Structure 1
Amino acid sequence: MLSFKEFCTTKTLVALGLGQFLSLLITSTGLSSSELARRGINAPTSQSFLNYVFLAIVYGSIMLYRKEALKAKWYYYAILSLVDVEANFLVVKAYQYTSITSVMLLDCWSIPCVMVLTWFFLSTKYRFKKIAGVVVCVAGLVMVVFSDVHAGDRSGGSNPRKGDALVIAGATLYAISNVSEEFLVKNADRVELMSLLGFFGAIISAIQIDNNRSILECNEVKSIHWSVGAALPFFGFAVAMFLFYSLVPILLKISGSTMLNLSLLTSDMWAVVIRIFAYHEKVC
């Protein structure tokens, strides 16, 4: 058993603090997506497109300045980008059909997926105590959600079953993306990862936008007046996602993808804090 002094190392404290900041960022993206869905704006791929453009511009510029050869095959990043784009699309799309509570609850499916993938592909060892800790975390999340939210809110949305299925599929792809990023950031380079993820992600998102015509010809979007109230959550989502993507590789290198997904569980508690102090809502 580790003593308290051995546990509270600089590495552990940095990982815990960074994990909570990432959790706060993911909370802000969830609230932004929920607000856009409430306003009738249905553009899940477009929301993520700006994030990939920011990544490509910022980290691509650094990569061009370095003039270094790639440390991993380019098609690894292309496949990763495809998985990541579709994960973002599915989860953001789910807000159109189900409640934010269901999204938060089902999104934790990524944790067991990450543990299985890291054990199988990265040879990460999980002892009984670690598995028990994960079970406690997930059980705590389930208890918080079901004790705090009324049944009517959990079943909210035009098609809850479809929305829940989209979340589970997106969470599975997130797990694949996280484990792949962990492998690449430990065996390649963080700037290279972010640059090519943004480059290929922007291309795939642009193609998907054109195929779905999610901005130009979607009736839901054409009927919306893009006021400041609608633009703020749209661009806020992109900025929060850019910061999230930029910091995730650091946590992956320090503690791994399981720690990342466990840290994101507290996003539900951050959502409660924001609802109370920002929206002045009464929370049970």
Structure 2
Amino acid sequence: MTNKWRSKEVLRVLFLLFLGQVVSFNLAITAFCSSLLVDLGVYLPLTQSLFNYALLALVYGCVLLYRRQRLLVPWYWYIPLGFIDVQGNYLVIKAFQYSSITSVTILDCWTIPWVMILTWIFIKTRYSLWQFLGAAVCVAGLGLVLLSDAGIAGGGGDKPLLGDLLVIIGTLCYAMSNVGEEYCVKKKDLVEVISMLGVFGLLVSVCEISIVERKTLEEVKWTAEIISLFAGFALSTFMFYSLVPFVLKMSGATLFNLSLLTSDMWAVVIRIFFYHQQVDWLYYLAFGVVALGLIIYSVTTGGDPAPTTANADGELDIQYEALSQESAASGNEVLTA
């Protein structure tokens, strides 16, 4: 019986590792598609996210309509949530126009300290000294990325510091979205939050596209390559939004955070083999420092709910940890991004 239990546990861990890598690979694909679109001269960050929100609204909205249940959270609360989420996606995708793919993916981890600050102030979440130490180590690693992009060690991109600044502001939007979702999820309906995020994210994107990107959109010469990159970005982002809650539910924050670290390495591999660019040694050092910080933070997570991690689309990786934690709590009573 003991050997049988151990074999099942090993298979479960291997399955979780596989799912974690699927999520991580999807995160890297979104960064790759965004970077390649910029190389082709297509600067449409809002339009890129539009198709993802449309898929979320269509798929999860149909599930919500099939249930024929009333919203557990008033619909107007989802308006600022969708607005902030769209801004986070816009800023991070926009950063690919100025900075390298490795800088953007590593700086996505800046979401962790933002989330800790916001949840500590507004939700009164209490963190241990080890968790603060882990976040501080992560910030130190991110500082190495800024140091490299400042030109001391040769960063990539036309305006790397501007790109880094856009990512940092974008992760603040992700963190605000995460805190708002944590409040909504207290009503304990995962499908409602994802579907409403898709609906209002879609509406906000359409409004902003008509103001900001309409002329640029009209000038784009749509080729099969550009269309395929838009489709790849939408599908990979949709998969990321959809898989993260289940990975978090089954594995918890520690394994999920460690799995997402490989998305940065996927980005490094893409930069070396696809763009034929040399990655400075500071990037590897930054990755190691960020990995150490996330390990310290994750393994010292206590009983208090503490949303951790991001994504590049960041968005995509911090939001659903809160969703998963709340869902798991409701499952014990009677079930991220």
TM-score greater than 0.5 by the shorter chain: yes
Shift in Å, 1:48: 0.3
SS in 2 for 1:154: coil
Q: How does 1:104-253 map to 2 (within 5 A)?
A: 104-137=105-138, 139=140, 154-157=155-158, 159-212=159-212, 214-215=213-214, 217-218=215-216, 224-250=220-246
Between the aligned residues of both structures, percent identity stands at 48
- Is the 1:84–1:174 Cα contact (8 Å) retained in structure 2? yes
SS in 2 for 1:40: coil
Deviation per residue, 1:164-197 (Å, 9 max, x gap): 2221111100111123223433433111011111
Amino acid at match of 1:267: S
Is residue 41 of structure 1 aligned with residue 42 of structure 2?
A: yes
Shift in Å, 1:111: 0.9
Amino acid at match of 1:63: L
| Residue range with higher mean Cα deviation, 82-91 or 120-129 | 120-129
Deviation per residue, 1:92-116 (Å, 9 max, x gap): 1111222223323432221101112
Deviation per residue, 1:65-122 (Å, 9 max, x gap): 1001111121221111010011101111111222223323432221101112223333
- Is the 2:105–2:267 Cα contact (8 Å) retained in structure 1? no
- Is the 2:85–2:173 Cα contact (8 Å) retained in structure 1? yes
C-alpha spacing 1:196/1:257, structure 2 compared with 1 (3 Å):
farther
Amino acid at match of 1:197: L
Amino acid at match of 2:100: S
Amino acid at match of 2:210: D
- Is the 1:95–1:103 Cα contact (8 Å) retained in structure 2? yes
1:266 equivalent among 259, 262, 266: 262
Q: Which runs of 5+ in 1 are unaligned?
A: none
C-alpha spacing 1:140/1:123, structure 2 compared with 1 (3 Å):
same
RMSD value, Cα: 3.6
- Is the 2:16–2:250 Cα contact (8 Å) retained in structure 1? yes
Amino acid at match of 1:239: L
C-alpha spacing 1:259/1:146, structure 2 compared with 1 (3 Å):
farther
Deviation per residue, 1:261-283 (Å, 9 max, x gap): 67544321122344567778776
- Is the 2:107–2:145 Cα contact (8 Å) retained in structure 1? no
SS in 1 for 2:98: coil
| Residue range with higher mean Cα deviation, 9-18 or 53-62 | 9-18
Q: Which runs of 5+ in 2 are unaligned?
A: 1-5, 281-337
- Is the 1:15–1:251 Cα contact (8 Å) retained in structure 2? yes
Amino acid at match of 1:76: W
SS in 1 for 2:43: coil
User: How many Å separate the matches in 2 of 1:269 and 1:38?
Assistant: 21
- Is the 2:86–2:201 Cα contact (8 Å) retained in structure 1? yes
Q: RCO higher in 1 or 2 (8 Å CA, sep ≥ 6)?
A: 1
User: How many Å separate the matches in 2 of 1:225 and 1:209?
Assistant: 17
Residue in 2 aligned with 1:97? 98
User: How many Å separate the matches in 2 of 1:128 and 1:16?
Assistant: 29
C-alpha spacing 1:47/1:253, structure 2 compared with 1 (3 Å):
same
